[in-house]
Amino acid sequence: MILQDVTPFLGDHAPLPTPLNLAEVEPEDQLTVVLMMLRQQRGAVFLVLPSHGSAFAQTEDFASLRRLEREEMALTIVGVVIPPIRATLAAYAHQHGFVHAPSLEETIQRVTQQQQSSQPSEAIIRDPHASQGHFFSRDEEASPVLALPNTPLPVASFASKPRSPNKRPILASVLLGVIVLVLFSTIQVFSPRQQPAASQPVAVGTLQFMSSGLHDPLNSKGLNDQLRLDLQHLREPASGHNDYAWLLPDASNDEIKPLLLGALSIQGGNAHLEYHSPDHANLLVTFSQLRITEQAQGIVPVAPAADPATWRYGGAFPNTLASGDSFSFVAHLRHLLAQDPTLMKLGLAGGLEVWLTRNTEKLLEYATATRDDWGNAGATNLMHRQIVRILDYLDGEAYVGLDVPAGTPFLIDPKMGRIGLLEVQEDQALPSYLTHVDLHLQGLANAPGHTDAQRQLAIHIDQVTAPVRGYMQRIRNDAQLLVSMNQVARDQRALDLINDMVTNATLAYAGQPTSSGENTGGVLWIHNKLQGLAVMPIFPLTQ
């Protein structure tokens, strides 16, 4: 889903509630992901539906949207834009009381008309429990969600009609028309507007966070424990001085000491430095900035120079919240790669991608073992347990009971299997790994401060999660059938299902082979590409 904060375009007199966000649902979006992202929004939202897709294809989907709005009192769905070819969805939206129209302009007009139909002196409140989009005044019994401004909203129109000479309605109409044009022009934009390239400082290099792969499930050591700094177009420090690279914590955290990475060896204006944490510490958990200072040689400094005049180069992962989002770029990045609060509460160290990768590998491991045991009549019980383990990993502890016979024990580590790989029910208390990764990828791509390369990579990775979800769903379908078979070790139908399960587990984990000999599209590919988001541009620091 693409989120766009359009509040800055409203102006002081714009007759629409603020903050105002545009949420464009894409055809491949899952309803669960859309609802999770909306749950993080604050203020008013125009929801734009695609010409096709599974999200909001049923009346129950709009009921879920209405329930979400009741739960999140700071969120209001102002209107829903539904393409004309999806007339059934328009009926569903109307059934659940949502203002809707085939275009954004018409939706704004209908919201305007709803308010104009009331007394000018009354604030209009939409009843979240209404089934027919009823609007009522404040003296009626209601559970208020959104109070629109008292000022009547003018209807935006581009037809040549007689207009009142009153300046305020004319100004408001012009502003509303501009808003509509801006909304349409930005509807395909995945992130807030960027400044012209000429106004941006030119980066002199990058800092890359990398992992040694020595991950201990009991802690996050071995993740993001290596750094690579590559710089170009540097100036030589003064005689008797060196340029020192320092890793700094978040600007709001003054309890963590800066970490000296080393002195730069500049040759021909270029410098390359690698740092490996001696104890394999997860550096991304606490550090998010780099500063290069020019300081005297001879004595290794214990802290970066405090004088800004000595600061030569620097960079930082953006830590600014997008409108309506609870997380910044660096927060989304940490959830994915370094440390996720939900996992921490369960006693799982590391980011979401670590456990997505590990648990998907387990699917392939148990599917392959099940195939290897087929034909051995004495292995029936063992094969049954392996199939149950596959469902344990797919569904998670809370939901696997839906797929296995009553009384079946949970056979994998309860901590590692607490969260499933797949979403089993809408609005799960704990989102699945794929859904959670998807949520933070989209949040990162919409967060302020990302580079174009980071945005494009996040979008590309996000697109790959859809086929992976399809492979896993097919594994689940096969396992659901296999777990109820009595003669799984000798039944030819069981072998066909097992072979299909192995095929899809291989695709989910390793992806598709390419002509270059490399695999693409599986969880391993996602694992490798996600690390590419942890790249920090480095710029000259001019004082």
pLDDT in tens, 148-169: 333 333 333 323 333 334 433 4
Q: Is residue 330 over pLDDT 60?
A: yes
Q: Is residue 147 over pLDDT 50?
A: no
Q: Do residues 78 and 17 lie in contact, with contact meaning Cβ atoms separated by under 8 Å?
A: yes
Phi and psi at residue 538, to the nearest 5°: -115, 135
How far is 461 from 443, CA to CA, in rounded Å?
13
Ranking 117-126, 149-158, 361-370 by mean pLDDT, the lowest is 149-158
Q: Is residue 287 over pLDDT 60?
A: yes
Confidence of residue 259 (pLDDT cuts 50, 70, 90): very high
How far is 464 from 494, CA to CA, in rounded Å?
30
Q: Look at residue 18 in the predicted model and tell me its pLDDT.
A: 64
* Short-list 507, 473, 467, 462, CA closest to 394: 473
How far is 302 from 257, CA to CA, in rounded Å?
10
Q: Look at residue 72 in the predicted model and tell me its pLDDT.
A: 75
Q: Look at residue 95 in the predicted model and tell me its pLDDT.
A: 78
Confidence of residue 512 (pLDDT cuts 50, 70, 90): confident
- Tens of pLDDT, residue by residue over 186-195, are 444 444 444 4
CA 97-100-103 angle, to 5 degrees, is 175
How far is 491 from 503, CA to CA, in rounded Å?
19
| Angle (deg, nearest 10), helices 352-373 and 523-531 | 160
CA dihedral 159, 161, 166, 170 (to 10 degrees): 0
Q: Do residues 2 and 34 lie in contact, with contact meaning Cβ atoms separated by under 8 Å?
A: no
Around 460, how many Cα atoms within 13 Å sit in the side-chain half-sphere? 16
Ranking 316-330, 393-407, 460-474 by mean pLDDT, the lowest is 316-330
Supply the mean pLDDT for the chain.
81
Per the document, the length of the chain is 543
Q: Look at residue 131 in the predicted model and tell me its pLDDT.
A: 35
Around 356, how many Cα atoms within 13 Å sit in the side-chain half-sphere? 30
Q: 39 or 236, which is more confident?
A: 236
Q: Is residue 25 over pLDDT 70?
A: yes
- The average pLDDT across 397-402 equals 94
- The average pLDDT across 513-540 equals 89
- The average pLDDT across 528-535 equals 94
Sequence-ordered alpha helix ranges (H) in 117-214: 167-186
Distance between alpha carbon 441 and the CA centroid of its chain, in Å? Answer: 3
Q: Look at residue 377 in the predicted model and tell me its pLDDT.
A: 85
Q: Is residue 325 over pLDDT 80?
A: no
- Tens of pLDDT, residue by residue over 449-504, are 999 999 999 999 999 999 999 999 999 999 999 999 988 888 899 999 999 999 99
Q: Look at residue 542 in the predicted model and tell me its pLDDT.
A: 64
Q: Look at residue 218 in the predicted model and tell me its pLDDT.
A: 67
Q: 448 or 153, which is more confident?
A: 448
Q: 257 or 72, which is more confident?
A: 257
Q: 72 or 268, which is more confident?
A: 268
- Tens of pLDDT, residue by residue over 342-356, are 999 999 999 999 999
Q: Look at residue 29 in the predicted model and tell me its pLDDT.
A: 77
pTM equals 0.66
Q: Do residues 48 and 16 lie in contact, with contact meaning Cβ atoms separated by under 8 Å?
A: no
> What are the CA-CA distances from residue 34 to residues 61, 152, 475, 512, 529 (Å)?
11, 32, 24, 28, 23
Pairing of strands 43-48, 20-24: parallel
Q: Choose the most confident range, by mean pLDDT, from 202-216, 269-283, 505-519.
A: 269-283
Confidence of residue 125 (pLDDT cuts 50, 70, 90): very low
| Angle (deg, nearest 10), helices 352-373 and 452-482 | 30
- The average pLDDT across 118-125 equals 38
Q: Look at residue 200 in the predicted model and tell me its pLDDT.
A: 63
Q: What percent of the chain has pLDDT over 90?
A: 53
For 227-259, give one letter per residue: b (16+ CB within 10 A) or e.
bebebeebeebeeebbbbbbbbbbeeeeeeebb
Q: Do residues 102 and 83 lie in contact, with contact meaning Cβ atoms separated by under 8 Å?
A: yes
Q: Look at residue 16 in the predicted model and tell me its pLDDT.
A: 61
Q: With the C-alpha atoms ordered 255, 219, 530, 189, is the resulting torsion angle positive or negative?
A: negative
How far is 10 from 20, CA to CA, in rounded Å?
9
How far is 1 from 291, CA to CA, in rounded Å?
35
Q: 51 or 533, which is more confident?
A: 533
Cis peptide before 19 (omega within 30 of 0): yes
Collapsing DSSP to helix, strand or coil, 489 comes out as coil
Q: Is residue 99 over pLDDT 70?
A: yes
Q: What is the DSSP letter of 233?
A: S
